Chain A
Amino acid sequence: EPEVTQTPSHQVTQMGQEVILRCVPISNHLYFYWYRQILGQKVEFLVSFYNNEISEKSEIFDDQFSVERPDGSNFTLKIRSTKLEDSAMYFCASRSGIAETQYFGPGTRLLVL
């Protein structure tokens, strides 16, 4: 069964460093998402991406964040200058159409020191 994959599974970085989190959505899906979950808290929406552009973003998704679909398979989240409060589990999700199931990847656990 097709699934969303994410790399790396864990990332440790120093405050102020740039990180890129990678996702491979399910191949025939058209809508892509990033969410994050700070330890012990709710899953929060960051950004959605469709037709090679951002369709919606949350207040969390400020100028330090960017997303890209550099080729036909990868979908990346870049954090330009990480802060301690960016430590969280980051989930990528994809779906085939509006109002359909969103399938989540296993997550990347980011720790900013």
Chain B
Amino acid sequence: SQQGEEDPQALSIQEGENATMNCSYKTSINNLQWYRQNSGRGLVHLILIRSNEREKHSGRLRVTLDTSKKSSSLLITASRAADTASYFCATEEEYGNKLVFGAGTILRVKS
């Protein structure tokens, strides 16, 4: 798989449920960032986790990073219809500068 691949590709849940999205990558990284994109709109930054961090929280978001497995997960708790969007992980390589994005997970939260 390519750098920053998410799974699942699509996820449909009921409002109030938790949503978990996973991201895998291949190279050593400085950090991993999660973004949200509403249909056809801009990229909204959600959270950045550095390579020396294992877990981070922001409101209803929880991100984990396992550098030994080169993987990350994004958990959205108590989901709302407004969380419906595409979610992307993006990695910044260890000696890099740019972000490398995955293909994203399309989350649909049904009310």
Contact = CB atoms under 8 A, between A and B. Distances in A.
A107 B41 contact: yes
A101 interface: yes
Interface string B56-95: 0000000000000000000000000000000010101000
Contacts of A75: none
B101 A44 contact: yes
Contacts of B88: 43
Give the interface SS of chain B, mostly helix, strand, loop or mixed. Answer: strand
A45 interface: yes
B111 interface: no
Chain A interface mostly: strand
Size bin of chain A's contact surface? 20 to 34
A104 B97 contact: no
A27 interface: no
Interface of A: 31, 33, 35, 41-45, 48, 55-56, 58, 89, 91, 93, 98-107, 109
Given A42-B103, A105-B42, A107-B42, 17 more contacts: A33-B99, A41-B103, A42-B102, A42-B104, A43-B43, A43-B88, A43-B90, A48-B97, A48-B98, A56-B97, A91-B42, A91-B43, A99-B50, A101-B45, A102-B33, A102-B99, A106-B42
Nearest 7 interchain pairs by C-beta? A106-B42, A104-B43, A43-B101, A45-B98, A99-B30, A101-B48, A42-B101
Interface of B: 30-31, 33, 35, 40-45, 48, 50, 88, 90, 92, 96-104
